Amino acid sequence: MDATTPAARSRNRRGQGELLRRDIIDAAVRMLNELGDDEALSLRAVAREVGIAATSVYIHFADRDELVFAALEQCTADLIRDLDQAEASGGDDPVERLRARLLFLANWTSEYAGLYKVLHESTLNRRMHLVFKAELSTRATAAVQRCMDAGLAPAGDAATVAFDLRAAVHGAVSIRINEPEADLPPLRDQIDRFLVRLVGVRG
């Protein structure tokens, strides 16, 4: 067998089909991050990565879109968990918690640029409703609301402010992904300016 060919996967025992499904999703997540394009992913390639027959993928996923949806749903759940942990590192100060959340997102995007592009810029967003992404908006709004409730930002519509903030951060991140050679200011400094100008915290 060629050294570059994945070893055949041992057969799951009865009742372990869910483990295979998770292995397929994990492989799809890795490959989407490498490709940065959901349409470049093939179920056959995923099957090779896992070490199974292509027909085994179809047992769990009807088509590529269904697999990509499941992969993005899983990586979003993991991202939300990690964002919450990062936010907690900000202690009791709501502004520091919000800043920590945004900085983690920026670092995550740098490490998983391919996944970021598929999650936010892929054509899948037009073909399917990625309902799980709504939780990111909900938690961003809650983080802004905590700043307002603590008197650390002007009172207002937290959802609108959070949307403006997310749009600004996504734009800053997208430029850095798509124009890696551009001479840009440190993202940390830019995020601090967003917090002052868009949320209204003290500089």
150 pLDDT more than 60: yes
Which domain covers residue 74, as residue numbers?
A: 63-199
Domain of 190, CATH number, reads: 1.10.357.10
Backbone angles phi, psi at 166, to 5 degrees: -65, -40
Question: Does any domain span residue 3?
Answer: no
Q: What is the pLDDT of residues 102-132, one digit of tens each?
A: 999 989 998 999 999 999 989 898 889 999 9
pLDDT band at 203 (very low <50, low <70, confident <90, very high): confident
Tokens of 79: 């991202």
Question: What is the rounded (10 degree) CA torsion for 74, 49, 43, 112?
Answer: 40
Question: Does any domain span residue 2?
Answer: no
Radius of gyration of the chain (CA): 20
Cα separation, 173 vs 165, in Å, equals 12
pLDDT band at 26 (very low <50, low <70, confident <90, very high): very high
Return the higher-pLDDT residue of 47 and 203: 47
Cα separation, 104 vs 152, in Å, equals 21
Tokens of 74: 């899983």
Question: Does any domain span residue 27?
Answer: no
The whole-number pLDDT of residue 11 equals 54
Q: Would you say the C-alpha torsion 54, 79, 117, 66 has a positive or negative sign?
A: positive
pLDDT band at 15 (very low <50, low <70, confident <90, very high): very low
Tell me the one-letter amino acid at 62: A
Kindly give the interhelix angle for 134-149 and 64-88, rounded to the nearest 10 degrees: 20
Question: Does any domain span residue 152?
Answer: yes
Number of domains into which the chain is organized: 1
Cα separation, 155 vs 100, in Å, equals 21
Picking from 192, 152, 148, the residue whose alpha carbon sits closest to that of residue 168 is 192
Question: Does any domain span residue 158?
Answer: yes
Question: Does any domain span residue 183?
Answer: yes
Question: Does any domain span residue 46?
Answer: no
Do 63 and 20 form a contact (C-beta atoms < 8 A)? no
Question: Does any domain span residue 134?
Answer: yes
Residue 181 CB partners (closer than 8 Å, separation 6+): none
Pairs from 37-45 (Cβ < 8 Å, separation ≥ 24): 37/114, 37/117, 37/118, 37/122, 38/64, 38/65, 38/68, 38/118, 38/122, 38/123, 38/124, 39/122, 39/123, 41/67, 41/68, 43/67
